[in-house]
Amino acid sequence: MFRSYLKIAFRHLLLHKTITFINVAGLAIGMACCILIMMLVKDELSFDQFHANKANIYRVNTRFTENGKVNYGTSSQFPTGPAMKAELSDVKDAVRLYEPGNTLFTHGDKKFLEEHAAFADAGFFKMFSFPLLTGDAATALKEPNSIVITESAAKKYFGNEDPIGKTLRMANETDCKITAVAKDMPRNTDLRYDLLISFSTFETGNRLSGLWMYFSQNFTYVMLRDKASLANMNKTLAGFTDLHVGKIAKRLGMQFSYQLQPLTNMHLRPGGDENKEDRSKLIYIYIVIAVFLVLIACINFMNLVTARASERALEVGLRKVMGAARRTLVIQFLMEAVLLSLLAFVAALVLAAILLPAFNSLTDKSLQLFSWQQLPLLGTLLALAVFTGLLAGSYPALFLSGFMPIAILKGTFQSLRNRTLLRKAMVVSQFAIAIVLIVSTVVVYSQLRYWREMNLGFDKEHLVNIYLSSTEDVSPKRELLKQELLRLPAVKSATLSNMAVGRFIGSYNPVAKEGDGDDKSITPGIITGDFDLVKTLGLEIIKGRNFAADMATDSTDAFIINETAARKLGLHNPLGARIEWRPGPTPRKGSVIGVVKDFNFSTLQLPVDAVVYLVNPQNASVLTVRLQPGNLPAQMAQINKLWAQLIPNYPIQFSFPENDLSEQYQTEYRLGSIFGVFAVLSIFIACMGLFGLSILISRQRTKEIGIRKVLGASVGNITALLSRDFLKLVFVAIIIASPLAWYLMNQWLQDFTYHIDVQWWMFVIAGLGAVVIAMCTISFQSVRAALMNPVKSLKTE
């Protein structure tokens, strides 16, 4: 019996190839998109979930309030970890990770600048679940000048040789002995390192490691005891903070506290639990897109299956006359619908596998479809496919099979054809979702264009940041390198400073009006550089003058501030005002000689910071070069050649501020791309359904069309008649989708300091696009139906 049902179902599907293809293709595309998006969501939620001690591991974040402004940080002072372990009973272990940035490592003639290197305490491999291939986890990072490398790093430096016991030279200064080789760290962790150097190597002779108010790229992780209470721990931390940081914070006029952030929450809240940056919002957006797409596909599927049901009324009547039981008909209809949905599921798997490389490129992931980790997701979608089939098949199964055959065969079965309210509602829902996605795409790309075209307050084009190591190879040659670069025809100007435009400002220290207490100070970004800083960056001086090399006092007691700094310091007439820079016990005092227009040296997602400029190039870490307009590859080749001549033992490292600034918005660019791709797919799925419905509706109205043509209706009249009802539904969808899209996009834009307003023309574009695409889809079948010879449709009347 089952075999017979299956055979009949297949025959029926093959008999109506066009509708079958539309049904399978629409549902398959929606499911394939859902598979890809939910794989992305699953990956984002899996970060650092594999650690055995994950429930007890926390990162120690910082929170400090100054003049009513609250700032959050994820780094902490170097002594924090050891002090917590020694003084707080609930802390079982503490591990520090200090990231020095790109560091040169060499072995023989092999030299690499390693971005993913860090100094780590001895308990790193005990706290975190990163397995070692060789070496002892308990002692690998215990001794000074010890280093653990991953298997990929081992192959890079040593090939197939055993690296244990061999040395890597760090920064051309320190020889580190390899004590262990770790398995490559997985992609779903925020603690991805290729080389780990013992923290005692950093502490040896480094006075910064004992300072309680020095913040750098040092991250502290603590593992609490199993029965420790987080609430009690937070209370204990208050006393700990007062003991070690209270006096210093009070002297600086700020309130300071520590906060513990769960390790498993770090990826979604990278700036801390209370920081504005929240990636979990993206997760919700991705889930909504996935739900929208699969909902459109399922609605499409159910619409076409139920619409086809009316055409099968005569078939049902004949079957019942021939003795078919209602149960038999129900099983037959349900089997056909489920078979169709299962074919769509198989097609979705194939389509997802084909699209996965492109999707990985779009999202910067390495997702794998056919792995055991994806089984729960695929199982859920399989269940959804079966459920969709059962739901779609239930309409013809239950309603058609329940009608009396005499009513069907006599032609009094017209009432069922009028049950179109649900079908219309589903069409409206499809297009409303698609229009929301189109509006969202337009808003995201408009916001990105706004950021790209906004005046940043400086000229970002033709700039190059060359990064200067503090090693003996580079540091003594900074000024010589600058002067030699200025001799090149390609170089217009250059400046040494502690700032990399588009990436970072070197330091943040208290600044106050001379004579004011620390409680009235602000903590601006401090840019120390040479006399060419303002000129090279192209900053606009709106009051006063620039630094001048022929004025001796400009090197010792002169400041330039930006508009925000002047406002925060309360300087209504800033020129000549006396201020103090307080980086330590001995402040530097001086007069404000100029005010520059505010400029955004980093992301436009945040407000402009207060900035203070002063001449002090001795500790410059960046050489910023402004190039002449021209052939960039040839210009960079000249710079590379000069670097190799002056500093042969250290590779050059550089970046372009224009690119660095663009990278600040990679998340938004990625979101815009995802919106765009899936908005197109949602419209495509909806139009496939509309096309299928137009075929079915035109078939149902064949006689009506024939009569109208006999009575003189033109092709245009018939086309308008068949298209009108569908276009009404699209207009209803526009009305429903517009306020929803407006609300959602306004909520998204509120996260940014500088943002556009949602404009009326964005809805016009989305609406017109939907109407035009829908008209093209419907008109094809409508014109075809209108051109049909009326004799064919009326010959039996």
Which range is least confidently modeled, 2-6, 334-338, 562-566, 683-687? 2-6
Q: Does residue 567 contact residue 530 with C-beta atoms inside 8 Å?
A: no
DSSP state of 199: H
What's residue 419's pLDDT?
Answer: 54
Predicted pLDDT of residue 640? 94
The stretch 33-50 carries a mean pLDDT of 92
What pLDDT is attached to residue 310? Answer: 62
- What's the pLDDT at 619? 81
Gap between the Cα atoms of 727 and 732, Å rounded: 9
- Residues with Cβ within 8 Å of 766's Cβ and at least 6 positions away in sequence, in order, are 435, 438, 439, 442, 734, 737, 741
Tell me: pLDDT of 414 over 70: no
Rounded percentage of the chain residues whose pLDDT exceeds 70: 87
Report the C-alpha gap between 57 and 293 in whole angstroms: 38
SS3 99: coil
Please provide the size of the chain in residues.
797
Q: Give the tokens for residue 138.
A: 């308990």
CB of 163 within 8 A of CB of 154? yes
Q: 3-state secondary structure string, 578-609?
A: EEEECCCCCCEEEEEEEEECCCCCCCCCCCCC
Token pair in block for residue 176: 């580190």
Highest mean pLDDT among 262-271, 306-315, 423-432, 787-796: 262-271
Residue 317: predicted pLDDT: 67
Whether the Cβ atoms of residue 112 and residue 126 lie closer than 8 Å to each other: no
Structure confidence at residue 399 (pLDDT): 64
As a whole-number percent, the residues of the chain with pLDDT over 90 amount to: 38
**Most confident range, picked from 93-97, 321-325, 397-401, 714-718:** 93-97
- Calculate the alpha carbon distances from 515 to 99, 496, 580, 652 in Å: 37, 31, 8, 44
CA–CA separation, 271 vs 6, rounded Å? 57
Average pLDDT over residues 433-452: 88
Give the 3-state secondary structure of residue 97. strand
- For residue 256, what are the β-bridge partners? 64
Structure tokens at 16: 């109506």
Angle formed at CA 430 by CA 428 and CA 434, multiple of 5 degrees: 115
Report residue 738 as tokens: 């517009």
Q: Identify any residues that bridge with 367 across adjacent strands, giving them in sequence order.
A: none
Cα dihedral 113, 118, 122, 123, rounded to 10, equals -130
Tokens of 371: 């792995």
Q: Encode pLDDT of 42-56 as tens digits.
A: 999 999 999 999 999
**pLDDT confidence of residue 1:** 53
Which helix (H) or strand (E) segment is 389 a member of? Answer: helix 375-399
For residue 415, the model assigns a pLDDT of: 46
Per-residue buried b or exposed e for 493-510, using 16+ beta carbons within 10 Å of the residue's own CB? bbbbbbbbbbbbbbbbbb
In the predicted model, what is the mean pLDDT of residues 701-710? 74
pLDDT, residue 64, reads 79
Answer for the pair 732, 776: CB distance below 8 angstroms, yes or no: no
Asked if 107 and 168 touch (Cβ cutoff 8 Å), the reply is yes
| Cα–Cα nearest to 448, from 285, 283, 670 | 670
129, pLDDT greater than 50: yes
Taking only the tens place, the pLDDT of each residue in 105-124 is: 999 889 899 999 999 999 99
pLDDT at 363: 87
Residue 368 pLDDT exceeds 80: yes
Instruction: Decide if 611 contacts 505 (C-beta within 8 A).
Output: yes
State the Cα–Cα distance between residues 309 and 402, nearest whole angstrom: 13
Q: Is pLDDT at 730 greater than 80 in this prediction?
A: yes
Mean pLDDT on 616-625: 89
pLDDT at 145 over 90: yes
Residue 576's pLDDT is: 92
Q: Using DSSP bridges, classify how beta strands 117-120 and 195-198 pair: parallel, antiparallel or unpaired.
A: parallel
- How many angstroms separate the CA atoms of 414 and 592, rounded? 88
Of 311, 339, 313, 316, give the one whose Cα is nearest residue 329.
Answer: 316
649-704 confidence digits (pLDDT tens): 889 999 998 888 888 788 788 888 888 888 888 888 888 878 777 776 776 677 77
Over range 494-518, report the average pLDDT: 84
Could you tell me the two tokens for 93? Answer: 């272990």
Structure tokens that stand for 758 in this block: 């949602």
Q: Is the pLDDT of residue 796 over 60?
A: no
Whether the predicted pLDDT of 492 surpasses 80: yes
Q: Are strands 167-170 and 174-182 parallel, antiparallel or unpaired?
A: antiparallel
Measure the CA–CA gap between 575 and 543, rounded to whole angstroms. Answer: 7
pLDDT tens per residue, range 216-262: 789 999 999 998 888 888 888 888 988 888 877 776 667 788 999 99
**Cα(270)–Cα(33) distance, integer angstroms:** 28
Other Cβ atoms closer than 10 A to 588:
17
Q: What is the C-alpha separation between 150 and 135, in angstroms, rounded?
A: 12
Distance CA 378, CA 195 (A): 37
CB 785 within 8 A of CB 482: no
Confidence of residue 508 (pLDDT cuts 50, 70, 90): confident
∠ Cα 708 714 716 (to 5°): 115
Mean pLDDT of the chain: 84
Residue 372, CA distances (Å) to 48, 171, 377, 381 in order = 18, 43, 10, 15
Question: Hey, what are 286's tokens?
Answer: 């991705």
pLDDT over 90 (residue 277) = no
CA angle 761/765/771 to nearest 5° reads 135
Lowest average pLDDT, out of 6-15, 45-54, 165-174, goes to: 6-15
As given in the structure block, the two tokens for residue 46 are 């899996």
CA angle 305–306–311, rounded 5-degree value: 90
Please tell me the predicted confidence (pLDDT) of residue 673. 85
- Band of residue 456 on the pLDDT scale cut at 50, 70, 90: confident
At 714 the pLDDT is: 77
pTM: 0.82
Range in 339-343, 359-363, 604-608, 775-779 the model is least confident about: 604-608
- Exposure letters 334-361 (e unless 16+ CB within 10 A, then b): bbbbbbbbebbbebbbebbeebbeebbe
Task: Give the three-class secondary structure for 794.
Answer: helix
Of 66-75, 422-431, 497-506, 782-791, where does mean pLDDT reach its minimum? 782-791
Query: In the Cβ-directed half-sphere of 257, how many Cα atoms lie within 13 Å?
Result: 15
Residue 416, pLDDT score: 46
| Alpha carbon of residue 209 to chain centroid | 34
- Tell me how crowded residue 552 is: count the other CB atoms within 10 A of its CB: 10
Query: What's residue 60's pLDDT?
Result: 94
Rg, Å, the chain Cα set = 34
- pLDDT on residue 633: 92
Residue 455's Cβ-side half-sphere holds a number of Cα atoms within 13 Å equal to 6
Q: Angle 664-666-672 (CA atoms, 0-180°, nearest 5)?
A: 130
Q: Is the pLDDT confidence value at 433 over 50? A: yes
**Predicted confidence (pLDDT) per residue in 289-330, tens digit:** 888 888 888 887 777 776 666 666 666 666 666 666 677 777
Rounded CA-CA distance 365/281 in Å is 19
pLDDT at 384 over 60: yes
